[in-house]
Amino acid sequence: MSHIAQIQLDDANLPPPTPEIEQERRVAMFDLMEENRFALPARGDRIVPPGPYNLGLSIRDKRLVFDVMTGQGEKAAEFHLSLSPFRQVVKDYFQICKSYFDAVKTAAPSQIETIDMARRGIHNEGARILQERLDGKAEVDDATARRLFTLVCVLHFGG
């Protein structure tokens, strides 16, 4: 399977993120560059350029845009996903993250662990939705979907 060699997050027109959101972004970007699986499936008789790929992620016209280029800078694919299926899970994810960040400051370890388990569950749900939305457009493994979902949340935060 191919992979993402470079990722560009178009957050230039977004409000400044909170320190927690910025930290989530940095970790997701680092982890994504360390290891990911991303491939463009064959569609009909169209020739699919092989990876690795450079990926641009942005929100345009209330749609999540994946702009996929080859390592040589040639357009490989572009697809736009509706943000509607992500709205509730992103909202839930931000709420549970806030609870988690607050709990880390004062709560007992068992409470923090419980909140973190819920946070991971919501994060997994967001990754599952992303994989469903990418079906037929891009093939990603679970870990890549989780990291990309974090970046969707970062973009959603500002949008």
Mean pLDDT of the region 130-152: 94
pLDDT tens-place string over residues 64-78 = 999 999 988 899 999
Counting residues of the chain whose pLDDT is more than 90, the rounded percentage is 59
Residue 14 pLDDT: 75
Q: Is the pLDDT of residue 130 over 90?
A: yes
Range in 20-29, 55-64, 87-96, 132-141 with the lowest mean pLDDT = 20-29
Range in 90-99, 118-127, 137-146 with the lowest mean pLDDT = 90-99
**C-alpha closest to that of 97 among 20, 19, 157:** 20
Counting residues of the chain whose pLDDT is more than 70, the rounded percentage is 97
Structural domain range at position 135:
4-158
**C-alpha closest to that of 139 among 86, 63, 66, 60:** 66
DSSP string computed for the chain: ---EEEEEE--TTSPPPPHHHHHHHHHHHHHHHHS--EEPPPBTTBPPPPS-EEEEEEEETTEEEEEEEETTS-EEEEEEEESGGGHHHHHHHHHHHHHHHHHHHHS-HHHHHHHHHHHHHHHHHHHHHHHHHHTTT-EE-HHHHHHHHHHHHHHHHH-
Confidence of residue 44 (pLDDT cuts 50, 70, 90): confident
Q: How many domains does the chain have?
A: 1
Residue 157 pLDDT: 64
- Average model confidence (pLDDT) across the chain: 89
Mean pLDDT of the region 103-107: 90
What pTM does this model have?
A: 0.88
Contact predicate 140/131, CB 8 Å: yes
